[in-house]
Structure 1
Amino acid sequence: PILTQYFIKELNKKLNKSVKGVSKEVMNIFLKYPWEGNVRELENLLEGIMSIQDMDIIEIEHLPAKFKTYKVNKAKKTFSLKETLEDMEIDLIIKALEETEYNISQAAEILNIPRQTLQYKISKYNLK
């Protein structure tokens, strides 16, 4: 959390922006993410988001697709089968895309679905 705020403050100066921070959901994702590139990976991610888009708070929709697999489901008293299946579908699509270096035809083959269906789901879940 401290590094995230530090980088946002520095990038606000560098990019002439006024981002206030990240949402709780994004912070939870950041805490779960393994950060193989360490501090530099976090800085590069924030700079990429802040340089392309204008926002007050960085939300989950601003993150690249790979971060959405670390989304924390809020604790609920009831479980939605539809939401759970969608989350699983998103995870599988992202894994197939990463494994094939984002080759849609190969990812569709791995998932055993038509290419057009995969393109529709990528658009539906905003995984571009």
Structure 2
Amino acid sequence: MYFSSSGSGMVKQFATRLGRPVFDLSDRDVRRSVPDGPWVLLTPSYKTGNPDNDTLPEPVRRFLRNPLTRRRLVGIMGSGNRNFGAHYQAAAHHVARASGRPILFEFELQGTPWDLERAREILAELDVRFAEADD
């Protein structure tokens, strides 16, 4: 299961090109849902101009409020802009630190064809791992 947040549309573009169903956290009903199994977060990071401000998108913050949702998170894929300097991938790193889950992959903006292929490989490896765990 895959959930994404995308204020600018770039993460949504990347998520759509993965060829998998992805739930959009901008939808209120999606934000209020609880994943029924393991899931991966695709999140952007936004530079706020103030290093003390959080770069975590509000839809992601709201979705992660549920303890069961947080427990079922298996990893994070982050989008960022290298022009943000120290804020590059800040949201993905914040969620990873807070949840103890790994960053599975980082890409810039909407990703390159190589990024898309690598992300698909990572998700396919997770599919195998989850299928083995179900046996």
Please report the TM-score for the alignment, with normalisation by the length of structure 1: 0.29
Greater helix share, 1 or 2?
A: 1
Q: Could you state the TM-score of these two structures normalised by the residue count of structure 2?
A: 0.28
Larger Rg computed on CA atoms: 1
Structure 1 or 2: larger strand share? 2
